[in-house]
Amino acid sequence: MGAGWRSVMRASARRSMLCRSAVASLVALTAAGCLVRAAAPPDKPEPQPVGAEAVSWQPLGTWSGTGSSQSESFIGNTGAFRVRWEARAAGPQPGALRIALHSAVSGRPIVTAVEVRGVGKGESVVSDDPRVYYVQVDSSNLEWHFTVEEGVFGTVR
C-alpha cells in the first residue's frame, strides 16, 4: 500500500511541476510580448489621400513663468493659432490664468485663448486676421507654461 501511495504522490508532484512550468512560460511570453509592444514605434496616422486639405502646426514660441507677463511680438501669417497650456499651483489659494493675443501695433486685445481658474492643462484653437501679435498673460497663484503654434494650411501631394 505504501508503494502505491508514493506513485500517486509522484504523479501529483509531476502535475504540479508541469502546471508551474506552464504558468511560468505563460508569464514569460506575456512579458516578452509587452516588451516587444513597448519597443515598437508608435502608430503612424493614416496617410491622407492626395489632394486632401491638411493643416500643419508650426511653433511660434514657448513661454513659462509665474504672475503676469507679456511676450515679445511675433508675426501671424495665417491668423490660426493653437495654444497648448499647463497651470500648476504656486500658492496656497486657487489661482487664475488668462492668456490673450493682442495686436502688437495698437495693443488692443484680439482674442482670449485661455481663461481658467485652478490647475489644469489643455489646448485652445483661435483665429483672427494675419497681423503682428504679442501674448499677454494674467496670472495669480499659478506656475504656467504654454506654447503658441500657427496653423499652416495646404493640400496633400
- pLDDT (0 to 100) of residue 25: 46
DSSP state of 105: T
Q: How far apart are the first and last CA of the chain?
A: 84
Average pLDDT, the chain: 81
pLDDT confidence of residue 50 = 75
Alpha helices, DSSP H, located in 2-155? 2-39
In the predicted structure, residue 152 carries a pLDDT above the cut 60: yes
Q: Record the pTM.
A: 0.67
Of the candidate CATH numbers 3.90.700.10, 1.10.10.60, 2.60.120.380, 2.40.50.140, the domain formed by 53-155 belongs to 2.60.120.380
Please compute the mean of the pLDDT values over residues 135-139 and round it to a whole number. 97
Between CA 84 and CA 91, with CA 85 as vertex, the angle to 5 degrees is 175
* Helix ranges, the chain (H): 2-39
Mark 54-65 as b/e (b = at least 16 C-beta within 10 Å). Answer: eeebeebeebee
pLDDT tens digit sequence for 26-54: 444 444 444 444 455 556 667 777 778 88
| Cell numbers found for residue 22 | 506552464
Higher pLDDT, 11 or 54: 54
Q: Domain locations in the chain? A: 1-44, 53-155
pLDDT of residue 156: 84
pLDDT digit string, tens, across residues 98-130: 999 999 999 999 999 999 999 999 999 999 999
